[in-house]
Amino acid sequence: MWFDRKNPNVLFADRRSETITVTDRSHGNASGTRTIHIAPDTLMDFRAMPFPDETFKLVAFDPPHLVQAGPKSWLAAKYGKLSDNWREDLNKGFAECFRVLEPHGVLVFKWNETQVKLREVLALTPHQPLFGNTSGKKAGTHWLVFMKGTTP
């Protein structure tokens, strides 16, 4: 998603920092494996961000979107997997994103609705997106843009 993760204006955060090798035979991958490097700038949980209120002008929220994935799934290894309490987790994640945004700050939200429909996720936040797009019925990825008001 990031064009330049080394940009000094970007802070990449994840709850994991690890290198994983998983089975992947897609796209003619001759080795049958794929190595994934997860190397965030900051280790954190999106449900409890370690930043003061109103820290950022822009937040990109790209939470895990899988609720079902096998123990050797490379998608789950790369992107993570939602917990059994995913509704509560995403509700807290949205609340944290808006908490750390300055007034009139922008939240860019990415969601793939392969397993959970976007409408179910949007029901977890009182905020309404300003606009967004989808990448088509087959891909199911949505990009939505929210703006924080002047009151929390």
pLDDT tens by residue, 11-35:
888 888 888 877 766 666 677 777 8
The dihedrals phi and psi of 56, each to the nearest 5 degrees, come to -120, 150
Q: Model pTM?
A: 0.84
The structure tokens 């990109």 sit at 60
Neighbour-count burial for 3-25, b at 16+ CB within 10 Å, e otherwise:
eeeeeeeebebbeeeeeeeeebe
As a whole number of Å, the CA-based R_g of the chain is 16
Domains and CATH numbers, the chain: 44-147 (3.40.50.150)
At residue 94, the pLDDT reads 97
Q: What is the mean pLDDT of the chain?
A: 86
Residue 142 CA to residue 43 CA, distance in Å, equals: 25
